[in-house]
């Protein structure tokens, strides 16, 4: 599915419609050329005669937009989806790196160990990265559970409840970004120089996280949390908050 934005002719009313991507009227040009996220449908898109039924227009009832706070929760939801795949990429990187360390990584010749898995610094690095991942996974689960309570009663959602939830989402998004970047680059410290071989593609984990996280600067996530803590300011609903 693709989300399209338009304006009703002769008005200032914006419409967001969710339509099937696989149709002749929508053409993805596959010109997204980046270091990561190469398989996404990012890049330029041409729209030519797309027809949208009113039932596909988000938030409209009987052709009239019916605003409610719950309509703005789509962004915190997708932010949590992003958190989940940042953490999934980090876990995948750790799992693959650990397997490589067990089977292939050589011990440092001056370390006094016959196997890489007996190196004290290797234990320390895997322990540190794993503990950080587990901590953010736990926070992500907790924030998702808080959101589930909100989604169970859409008409009762207040601006306050929505804002406080978004602050928590911003916090876990910031931590997930940072820990995923740390893990996907840190694995090379415990896999060794040979693990940089292009054939192994260990770099893909970092490339994917690095590319995607740049779309939403982590500093602004921390700012949301900081302003809430210091001056009780709730984030305004936007495409990023």
* The pLDDT value given to residue 126: 97
Task: Please give the residue that has the higher pLDDT: either 129 or 33.
Answer: 129
SS3 240: coil
Average pLDDT rounded to a whole number, residues 101-115: 88
φ, ψ of residue 71 to 5 degrees: the values are -60, -25
Minimal CA–CA distance to 93: which of 182, 183, 174? 183
Contact call for residues 94 and 133 (beta carbons, < 8 A): yes
Question: What percent of the chain shows pLDDT beyond 90?
Answer: 69
d(CA 52, CA 54): 6
Contact call for residues 43 and 29 (beta carbons, < 8 A): yes
- Cα 144 from chain centroid (whole Å): 14
pLDDT in tens, 145-194: 999 999 999 999 999 999 999 999 999 999 999 999 999 999 999 999 99
* The pLDDT value given to residue 12: 84
Average pLDDT rounded to a whole number, residues 49-64: 88
* The pLDDT value given to residue 220: 96
Cα within 13 Å of Cα(73), Cβ side: 24
On the question of pLDDT at 60 being above 90, the answer is no
* The pLDDT value given to residue 83: 98
Sign of CA dihedral 81, 86, 89, 95: negative
pLDDT in tens, 131-141: 999 999 999 99
d(CA 209, CA 204): 9
* The pLDDT value given to residue 67: 80
Mean pLDDT lowest among 9-18, 46-55, 174-183, 230-239: 9-18
pTM as predicted? 0.89
Domains recognised in the chain with CATH numbers = 2-65 (2.40.110.10), 69-231 (1.20.140.10)
Minimal CA–CA distance to 139: which of 86, 186, 83, 208? 83
Average pLDDT rounded to a whole number, residues 84-103: 97
pLDDT in tens, 18-51: 899 999 999 999 888 888 887 776 889 999 999 9
């Amino acid at each position: 599915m693709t989300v399209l934005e338009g304006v009703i002719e002769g008005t200032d009313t914006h419409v967001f419609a969710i339509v099937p991507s696989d149709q002749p009227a929508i053409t993805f040009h596959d010109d997204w050329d980046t270091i990561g996220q190469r398989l996404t449908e990012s890049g330029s898109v041409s729209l030519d005669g797309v027809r949208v039924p009113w039932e596909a227009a988000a938030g409209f009832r009987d052709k009239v937009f019916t605003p409610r706070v719950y309509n703005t929760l789509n962004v915190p939801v997708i932010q949590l989806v992003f958190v989940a795949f940042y953490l999934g990429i980090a876990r995948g990187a750790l799992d693959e790196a650990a397997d490589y360390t067990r089977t292939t990584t050589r011990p440092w010749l001056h370390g006094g160990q016959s196997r890489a898995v007996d190196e004290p610094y290797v234990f320390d690095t895997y322990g540190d990265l794993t503990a950080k991942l587990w901590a953010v996974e736990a926070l992500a689960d907790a924030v998702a559970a808080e959101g589930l309570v909100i989604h169970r009663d859409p008409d009762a959602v207040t601006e306050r409840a929505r804002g406080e939830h978004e602050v928590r989402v911003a916090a876990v998004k910031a931590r997930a970004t940072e820990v995923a970047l740390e893990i996907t680059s840190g694995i090379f410290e415990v896999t060794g120089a040979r693990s940089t071989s292009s054939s192994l593609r260990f770099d893909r984990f970092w490339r994917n996280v690095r590319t995607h996280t740049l779309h939403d600067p982590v500093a602004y996530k921390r700012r949301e949390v900081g302003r809430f803590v210091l001056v009780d300011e709730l984030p305004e609903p936007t495409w990023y908050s």
